[in-house]
């Protein structure tokens, strides 16, 4: 008899008119109507939201791939007019610094080459690619030789030939440049001497009684 009552209860609960279990949600019947459940996307979002986001992402990629119109905000902000020139100048500056680093290992024999590289950086104003206001500020921060030595090497490369400079040596050249600068400063600070008066020939004395 117990088995018959239990089976009867089970069959009755499967009938359409059976009352809902206590604690069940009110909307559960609507969601499960017809034996179908509501399909949800990622994190409970509806499937159309994922399709909508994918469509917008594809449109954004397509717009980014197209060249910006001249004068548009995207062209001004994302693509500077001289972007390629800036890239090239930065590349040239890094190449020059790498050369100086290699020459630095044997300074007594390669000081003239360092001066040539520094002079090229100064002439082409490559230091502006790293936002330095002047060449002096650049060598002070980026060149481990120091500001004074770097500027003297630039002058050596501009005043002397390579063969003569290597024959004299870096120390003698620096001494010569320092002497030139000292002589120039002393001549500017000292007052100009007046020219000597023109020489006059002495006239013969007048004889007495005449």
Per-residue pLDDT of 114-169, as tens digits, reads 999 999 999 999 999 888 999 999 999 999 998 999 999 999 999 899 999 999 99
Report residue 7 as tokens: 């089976």
Segment holding 50, helix H or strand E? helix 47-65
Per-residue CA distances from 189 to 38, 184, 186, 192, 196 (Å): 95, 9, 5, 9, 21
| 31-52 per-residue burial string, b: 16 or more CB within 10 A, e: under 16 | eeeeeeeeeeeeeeeeeeeeee
Asked whether residue 33 carries a pLDDT value surpassing 50, the answer given is no
CB 51 within 8 A of CB 44: no
Phi/psi zone of residue 19: left (φ > 0), alpha (ψ -120 to 50 degrees), beta?
beta
User: What pTM, to 2 d.p., does this model score?
Assistant: 0.52
CB 173 within 8 A of CB 167: no
Percent of the chain with pLDDT over 90: 36
CB 150 within 8 A of CB 143: yes
The predicted model gives 69-81 an average pLDDT of 59
């Amino acid at each position: 008899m117990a088995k018959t009552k239990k089976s009867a209860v089970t069959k009755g609960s499967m009938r359409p008119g059976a009352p809902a279990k206590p604690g069940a949600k009110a909307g559960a019947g609507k969601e499960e109507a017809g034996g179908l459940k509501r399909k949800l996307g990622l994190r409970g979002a509806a499937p159309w939201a994922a399709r909508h986001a994918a469509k917008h992402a594809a449109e954004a990629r397509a717009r980014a791939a197209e060249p910006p119109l001249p004068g548009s905000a995207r062209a001004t902000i994302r693509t500077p007019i001289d972007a390629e020139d800036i890239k090239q100048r930065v590349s040239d500056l890094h190449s020059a610094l790498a050369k100086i680093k290699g020459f630095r290992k044997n300074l007594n024999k390669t000081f003239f080459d360092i001066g040539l590289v520094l002079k090229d950086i100064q002439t082409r104003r490559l230091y502006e690619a790293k936002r330095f206001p002047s060449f002096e500020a650049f060598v002070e921060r980026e060149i481990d030789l120091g500001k004074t030595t770097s500027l003297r090497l630039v002058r050596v490369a501009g005043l002397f030939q390579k063969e003569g400079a290597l024959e004299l040596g870096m120390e003698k050249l620096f001494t010569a440049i320092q002497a030139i600068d000292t002589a120039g400063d002393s001549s500017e600070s000292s007052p100009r001497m007046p020219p000597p008066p023109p020489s006059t020939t002495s006239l013969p004395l007048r004889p007495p009684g005449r």
